[in-house]
Amino acid sequence: MTKHRTIISEIGNTPLIKLKKISELTGCDIYGKAEFLNPGQSIKDRTALKIIEEAELRKDLTKGGLIVEGTAG
């Protein structure tokens, strides 16, 4: 089992999974990135992390600042 120091270090560290049937049908090795294994179970985790990191660098988001998360359905 892999141990991570923070939940943030988990974001984006998702495995590639070989898609057997489509690989056999095409004669190619085809893989899917298992983004559902991100902490928020979504590829959107990567985008959210990047937005937050950039806001912190620009000082638009500081300690004690507010982050509002809107849903996409």
Alpha-carbon 61 to chain mean position: 21
Alpha-carbon 8 to chain mean position: 9
Whether residue 59 lies in the annotated active site: no
Choosing from 18, 20, 33, 44, the catalytic residue is 44
DSSP 39: T
Spatial separation of the C-alpha atoms in residues 25 and 44, rounded to whole Å: 30
Q: Active-site residue numbers?
A: 44
